[in-house]
């Protein structure tokens, strides 16, 4: 491979990496817009349960463990198995919640677009206080 080809390849790799990094960069404002799909059932700004549990201090919480909310047996069992809501877990869960926790009460089908999931998780993280 000649020098010109190596430079072109290196440039293409750098551009691809840059575009990929930008695509994965979370946007909290866009996450807030995605959350509009969730807010009929979930609250983020106050510890008040709706059809679904509130999401204040969600990250680090054991699944199915919030006092005062009646979870499905499936969600409680997941928590007893050790499921804790982390960024990584939430990103997976939001793809297809009913597949991730078979028997969950959550009727939401999921978010197909990775950028929507990344943005939503970034938005939700604002409502978890560091301890």
Domain residue ranges of the chain, discontinuous segments joined by +: 26-125
pLDDT digits (tens, 9 = 90+) for 55-80: 999 999 999 999 999 999 999 999 99
Residue 19 has pLDDT above 70, yes or no: no
d(C-alpha 78, C-alpha 84), whole Å = 9
Tracing tokens 């190596």 back to the chain, one arrives at 6
The domain defined by 26-125 carries CATH number 3.90.1300.10: no
The pLDDT score that the predictor gives to residue 129 is: 85
For 93, the token pair is 């869960």
Could you give the residue ranges of the DSSP H alpha helices within 3-128? 3-24, 28-35, 73-80, 87-93, 97-100, 114-125
């Amino acid at each position: 491979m000649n020098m010109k080809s190596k430079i072109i390849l290196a440039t293409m790799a750098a551009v691809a990496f840059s575009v990929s990094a930008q695509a994965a960069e979370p946007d909290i404002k866009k996450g807030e817009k995605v959350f509009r799909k969730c807010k009929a059932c979930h609250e983020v700004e106050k510890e008040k349960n709706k059809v679904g549990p509130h999401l204040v201090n969600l990250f680090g919480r054991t699944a199915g463990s919030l006092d005062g909310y009646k979870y499905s047996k499936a969600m409680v069992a997941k928590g007893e198995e050790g499921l804790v809501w982390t960024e990584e877990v939430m990103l997976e869960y939001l793809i297809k919640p009913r597949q991730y926790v078979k028997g969950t009460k959550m009727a939401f089908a999921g978010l197909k677009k990775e950028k929507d999931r990344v943005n939503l998780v970034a938005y939700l993280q604002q409502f978890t206080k560091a301890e």
